[in-house]
Amino acid sequence: MIPLISALGVLVLAAAAEWLHVRRIRVAGRLAFGPSGARPWTRFVPLLRSASLAGFTWGLVMLVVMQMGGADGGKNTQTNEATRLVFIADLSPSMYLQDAGPEGGLTRHDRMRDVVEGILQRVSGNLRFGVVGFYTESIPVVMEARDPELVRNVFNGLPLSYAMPVGKTDLGKAVNEALEHVAAFPPGSTRLVIFTDGDSVSLVPIQKRPQSVKEVLVLGLGNPTKGTYIDSHQSRQEGDTLQRLATALGGIYEDVNTKHLATTALGDLVVPLAPLQKGLSLAQLAVLAMVLGAFINAGIPLAQEYFGSSWRQRAATPSLTERKLAA
Instruction: Say if residues 221 and 108 touch (Cβ distance below 8 Å).
Output: yes
Interval 50-96: pLDDT, tens: 999 999 999 999 999 988 864 444 444 344 678 999 999 998 889 99
Give the highest mean pLDDT range of 28-42, 150-164, 266-280. Answer: 150-164
Q: How far apart are CA 36 and CA 23, in angstroms?
A: 19
80 C-beta neighbours (distance < 10 Å), count: 9
Report pLDDT for 56. Answer: 94
Interval 212-235: pLDDT, tens: 999 999 999 999 988 888 888 889
At what angle are helices 171-182 and 239-249 packed, to 10 degrees? 30
The predicted model gives 144-155 an average pLDDT of: 91
Report pLDDT for 276. Answer: 59
What's the one-letter identity of residue 55? G
- Give the closest residue to 183 by CA, choosing from 265, 252, 84: 84
pLDDT of 198 strictly over 50:
yes
What's the one-letter identity of residue 157? G
Instruction: Say if residues 262 and 229 touch (Cβ distance below 8 Å).
Output: no
DSSP β-ladder status, 127-134 and 138-145: antiparallel
CA distances from 270 to 114, 120, 147, 297 (A): 18, 10, 17, 48
Interval 244-256: pLDDT, tens: 999 999 999 999 9
- Give the closest residue to 137 by CA, choosing from 95, 197, 181, 189: 181
Question: pLDDT over 70 for what percent of the chain?
Answer: 89
The predicted model gives 112-141 an average pLDDT of: 91
Q: What is the DSSP letter of 137?
A: S
Q: How far apart are CA 276 and CA 288, in angstroms?
A: 20
Of the pLDDT bands very low, low, confident and very high (cuts 50, 70, 90), residue 272 is low
| Residues ≥6 apart with Cβ < 8 Å to 190 | 83, 84, 85, 86, 182, 212, 213, 214
Secondary structure of residue 296 in the 3-state scheme: helix
Q: Is 292 or 31 the better-scoring residue by pLDDT?
A: 292
Report pLDDT for 76. Answer: 41
Alpha helices in the chain (DSSP H): 2-25, 29-33, 45-69, 108-120, 148-155, 171-182, 239-249, 282-307, 320-326
Of the pLDDT bands very low, low, confident and very high (cuts 50, 70, 90), residue 106 is very high
Report pLDDT for 75. Answer: 43
* Average pLDDT for the chain: 86
Q: How far apart are CA 263 and CA 51, in angstroms?
A: 52
State the CATH class of domain 83-269: alpha beta
Of 77-86, 148-157, 175-184, 257-266, least confident by mean pLDDT is 77-86
Report pLDDT for 73. Answer: 42
Q: How far apart are CA 90 and CA 161, in angstroms?
A: 9
Which residues of the chain are in CATH 3.40.50.410 domains? 83-269
Q: How far apart are CA 218 and CA 209, in angstroms?
A: 14
Q: What is the DSSP string of 244-286?
A: HHHHHHT-EEEE-SSSPPPGGGGGGGSPPPPPPPPS--HHHHH
